[in-house]
Structure 1
Amino acid sequence: MNVRDQASTATREPPVKAVLFANTDWYLYNFRRALALSLQQAGYEVLLLSPPGPYGEKLRALGLRWEPVPMQRRSLNLLRELALLWHLTQLLRRERPALIHGFTIKCAVYGSLAARLAGIPARVNAVAGMGYVFTSSQWKARLLRPVVRSLLRLALGGRGTRLILQNADDAELFRRAGLVDPAQIRLIRGSGVDCAQFADILPCTPDDGCPRVLLASRLLWDKGVGEYVAAIRQLRGQGRSLHALLAGAPDPGNPAAVPESTIRAWADEGLLTWLGHVDDMAGLLGSVDIVVLPSYREGLPRTLVEAAACGLPLITTDVPGCREVVADGIDGLLVPVRNSDALARAIARLQDDPPFARRLGDAARSKARTQFDERIVIRGTLAVYAELCELPEASTETTI
């Protein structure tokens, strides 16, 4: 090595380190790996954190650094929660990242508190929807709500913080609740979808000519699973022929999970076909005609965006997050929340008017490409990082 190379090596700045922290490794792999890879390609050092799970090794196989943390999503044990906070604090003191980016409310709270204790200068949090504590009417959720509000105020406040929300309704809710300084809120619609992956997907009609209707989500009651089943039951009672599909798995970490025994009973009754967890969403969406999501509230639902990118007609509820994706009668249909009768009527309308359904699907595809592509989301996220740190520019042309 010559003198010039030695001098260059001696003065070269170490890579900027960013920590991405989520409540499941599945979330990191499916929703944030494009962001992580874009950061890494630009020269960032990226560390991914989540509870243990099978997707951790998939992240490592992509060349990303992932570490498990001792986090239990449903835990209310004070000692266990303090141990998690201590673990995160020590980890951040060891790693010394420039910033930590937490996803979901629990990761936002714990990640931000640990970052404060460890002296990490920049804290970014992305909250996709208000979560079980704020949407459920169960006694446990109502009991936890004031505690979580206080923790959020503590975690999200102070210098060097930004809160990324996915829809304007949540932004207004956070403002009204006084959970964060409005000047620190940034609106980025969704986690992004690689629209090119779905661009050439053309739905195929089954041989029997019956439309295939799909609900794909985590199998939670507040995703509208019960309303979907009731609507299908009603349509079948009217003598309509259609294929009802349900994709997803129960989420045992969420108190609103639909029991597996209930799902199997619906399938055994012949109401629907339960597909379980599906990795190949592009292939699944290419096999259906209509996508529904009768959710009670969302951040910004990725399933709807993926279906829109395929040019499928969408039916969803007129609630925060969902109405960010669908404008009623323009690129989909909106129905009232918790209303299975209205959902059944919307499905029947699309079944009876295929040209109208195609027009909705074409408009949905156009909106997905111009508003929800992952490159748009990554650029917006990096712009938030740049507000807090001097960071290198990252490419949004990552190949996944």
Structure 2
Amino acid sequence: MSKILINGSHPQYLVNFRGPLIRDLIARGHELHVSSPDLDGEWRDAVLELGATPHSVPLRRTRISILGDLNYHGFIYQLIRKVGADFVLNYTIKPNIWGSLAASRAGARSASMVTGLGFAFIAGDGLARAATQKIAQRLYRMATDANSHVVFQNPDDLADFIAAGSLRKPDKAVIVNGSGLDLDHYDVAPLPPAPVFLSLARLLRSKGLEEYAEAAAQVRTTIPAARFLLAGMLDTGPDAVSREQLDRWIASGIEYLGHLNDVRPAIAQASVFVLPSWREGTPRTVLEAMGMGRPIITTDAPGCRETTVDGVNGLLVPVRDAGALADAMIRLARDSSLRAAWGTESRRMAEEKYSVDKVNQSLIEGLGL
């Protein structure tokens, strides 16, 4: 039996996305501790119900802060020592880096789960961004040097990590199919007869939300009855959509549903799910929509292309191409039988490839737990 500490960066995602993994590890006889900022109230109670011990930690999830990150590193080091953790499992960039370095300092084995490369690897303009990316990539190299395993959700992310020098020992890599999906929780819901599009993501430019809003305006001129829903939380990072920009989208006809603790009612309202992201690990929201039997429109980008077979369960479009996105949306808006057929195929693919039981078994075996 191991004492395992799982470090995340958001309490809701820790419970909703890692809950089945926590349960599976406990069922195998391990003692589980989990950490996240703001892990209190209902989320603390949810962790206790899973059978794990919750720890709220001082992590600034999006802000670049050397002192804040070093404080988090020191806190995790002390937490590892306090609970006697012998294995530390991290995910998202700051826990991956600082949690892995803390584990090495404390003499504990560790692994990083790379659930997407995001801002640290997506090309952009400006010297400040380039410098920040170089620092992040070098910090990742230090972290993966300390890890026993590094978990990826698609082969493109693994290849880019190696190319950037962020993983010097490729034999540490483990590839799994996303975070896994509880197919009982995300059951098939009837498709609405009208064309209703939904995009569900953190409100970041790199999720392709500007393209979604622009494509919606184009589709509306051809199919005035089409509806366009958007759900997700406002963010504070350098890639974040501003409140002013969101308000402009709402004024143009986008129906903003806010930040949702349960995404299933929103997906049930939609007849097509759209995620025009520039890059993902494996997009969780796409898997949730697939589980509920929705056809998918997403980009031919790392992580996204793994979820969708073009012309089978949806359509792939080029990254940052609002015109191509609008054409794909119009095609599905005009054909309800195609939406139904591709939605059925999405569910079949979710059952075959993304079942949480299969993914967790692969992950736990890959980590030697």
TM-score, structure 2 length as denominator? 0.94
Aligned partner of 2:202 in structure 1 is 218
User: What number of residue pairs does the alignment pair up?
Assistant: 365
Where does 1:139-154 land on structure 2 (aligned, <5 Å)? 139=126, 140-154=128-142
Q: Deviations over 1:62-99 (max 9, x none)?
A: 44311011111234433333222222212212222121
Return the letter of the residue paired with 1:268. A
**Secondary structure at the counterpart of residue 159 of structure 2:** helix
**Mapped partners of 2:52, 2:113: distance in 1:** 21
Residue 175 (structure 1) aligned with residue 162 (structure 2): yes
Residues 198 and 76 (structure 1), Cα distance of their counterparts in 2 relative to 1, 3 Å cut: closer
Residues 353 and 79 (structure 1), Cα distance of their counterparts in 2 relative to 1, 3 Å cut: closer
**Mapped partners of 1:301, 1:94: distance in 2:** 35
Residues 41 and 143 (structure 1), Cα distance of their counterparts in 2 relative to 1, 3 Å cut: same
Residues 358 and 74 (structure 1), Cα distance of their counterparts in 2 relative to 1, 3 Å cut: closer
Cα shift at 1:282 = 2.2
Residues 27 and 136 (structure 1), Cα distance of their counterparts in 2 relative to 1, 3 Å cut: farther
**Secondary structure at the counterpart of residue 241 of structure 2:** coil
Cα shift at 1:61 = 4.4
Cα shift at 1:42 = 2.9
**Mapped partners of 1:136, 1:53: distance in 2:** 33
**Secondary structure at the counterpart of residue 195 of structure 1:** coil
**Mapped partners of 1:75, 1:257: distance in 2:** 11
Cα shift at 1:360 = 1.5
* Bigger mean CA deviation after superposition, 218-227 or 281-290: 281-290
**Mapped partners of 1:152, 1:124: distance in 2:** 12
CA contact (8 A) 2:152 2:174 kept: yes
Aligned partner of 2:266 in structure 1 is 284
Residue 74 (structure 1) aligned with residue 70 (structure 2): no
**Mapped partners of 1:277, 1:67: distance in 2:** 24
**Secondary structure at the counterpart of residue 129 of structure 1:** coil
Residue 201 (structure 1) aligned with residue 185 (structure 2): no
Aligned partner of 1:52 in structure 2 is 38
Pick one of 2, 7, 10 that aligns with 1:24.
Answer: 10
Q: Which runs of 5+ in 1 are unaligned?
A: 1-14, 392-400
Aligned partner of 1:116 in structure 2 is 104
Where does 1:373-392 land on structure 2 (aligned, <5 Å)? 373-386=355-368, 391=369
CA contact (8 A) 1:251 1:257 kept: yes
**Secondary structure at the counterpart of residue 359 of structure 1:** helix
Residue 314 (structure 1) aligned with residue 300 (structure 2): no
Aligned partner of 1:185 in structure 2 is 173
Aligned partner of 2:254 in structure 1 is 272
CA contact (8 A) 2:9 2:95 kept: yes
Residue 334 (structure 1) aligned with residue 306 (structure 2): no
**Mapped partners of 1:76, 1:173: distance in 2:** 23
Aligned partner of 2:117 in structure 1 is 130
CA contact (8 A) 1:85 1:114 kept: yes
Cα shift at 1:136 = 5.0
CA contact (8 A) 2:196 2:271 kept: yes
**Mapped partners of 2:316, 2:200: distance in 1:** 17
Cα shift at 1:281 = 2.0
Aligned partner of 2:148 in structure 1 is 161
Percent of matched pairs sharing the same residue:
33
Cα shift at 1:227 = 0.5
Q: Deviations over 1:16-61 (max 9, x none)?
A: 2111001111220121011112222332210001112453343234
Pick one of 231, 241, 250 that aligns with 1:258.
Answer: 241
**Mapped partners of 2:16, 2:199: distance in 1:** 18
CA contact (8 A) 1:309 1:365 kept: yes
Residues 99 and 329 (structure 1), Cα distance of their counterparts in 2 relative to 1, 3 Å cut: same
Residues 239 and 156 (structure 1), Cα distance of their counterparts in 2 relative to 1, 3 Å cut: closer
**Mapped partners of 2:301, 2:130: distance in 1:** 21
CA contact (8 A) 1:318 1:336 kept: yes
TM-score, structure 1 length as denominator? 0.87
* Bigger mean CA deviation after superposition, 134-143 or 293-302: 134-143
CA contact (8 A) 2:22 2:50 kept: no
Residues 213 and 79 (structure 1), Cα distance of their counterparts in 2 relative to 1, 3 Å cut: closer
Return the letter of the residue paired with 1:116. S
**Secondary structure at the counterpart of residue 239 of structure 2:** coil
Query: What's the C-alpha RMSD, in Å, of the aligned pairs?
Result: 1.7
Aligned partner of 2:89 in structure 1 is 101
Aligned partner of 2:228 in structure 1 is 244
Query: Which one has a bigger Cα radius of gyration?
Result: 1
Residue 41 (structure 1) aligned with residue 27 (structure 2): yes
